[in-house]
Amino acid sequence: MKRLILMRHAKSSWATPGQDDHARPLNGRGRVSARVVGEWLQHKNYLPDQTISSDSVRTRETFAGLNILCDAEFTNDLYHAGPEDMLRVLRKATGDTVLMLGHNPGIGWFAQTLVAEPPPHPRFFDYPTCATLVADFDIDAWDEVGTGTGKAVDFVIPRELTG
């Protein structure tokens, strides 16, 4: 059994006109969102033993804000990646519970392709910032993962956690 935690980065700042997209940091709301989603992950015991993340500033800051004890690999392969790219990266994973942190629209599309049935959540298909899917896979190794092989276990957005 393998578990995937698929997360979109938290809300980023557009305060600096002309700033390179890759360098955009989180805004205040994004920092709060990362913290509360990290607390939710800990409360639910959805703790990764491997993290693979885009190397953008906002994904790095989202990971840091989660405050979870797990080494992270930051890769440009997930920066604005599509579902096929994400699948290639995931198939190389070695952890039992993997957190993958990326960007829309790719991360939302990837979530939709992985699960056999979507979670009954009104925001799943637009995958807002810091949206987090937890999915289980009845596989022994990540290279066995494919379209529709996952079972949605949980899905949350930060606004549900902050009121």
Question: Of the ranges 21-25, 45-49, 54-58, 107-111, which one carries the lowest mean pLDDT score?
Answer: 21-25
With contact defined as beta carbons under 8 Å apart, do 146 and 12 qualify?
no
pLDDT at position 61 over 90 = yes
Domain with 153 in it: 2-162
> pLDDT, tens digit, for every residue of 78-122?
999 999 999 999 999 999 999 999 999 999 999 999 999 999 999
Query: What is the band of 63 on the pLDDT scale with cuts at 50, 70, 90?
Result: very high
16-21 mean pLDDT: 87
Q: Residue 26 and residue 101: Cα distance in Å, rounded?
A: 14
- In SS3 terms, the chain reads as CEEEEEEECCCECCCCCCCCHHHCCECHHHHHHHHHHHHHHHHCCCCCCEEEEECCHHHHHHHHHHCCCCCEEEEHHHCCCCHHHHHHHHCCCCCCEEEEEECCCHHHHHHHHHECCCCCCCCCCCCCCCCEEEEEECCCCHHHCCCCCEEEEEEECHHHHHC
Report how many domains make up the chain: 1
pLDDT at position 18 over 90 = no
pLDDT of residue 163: 66
pLDDT of residue 19: 87
CATH number at residue 91: 3.40.50.1240
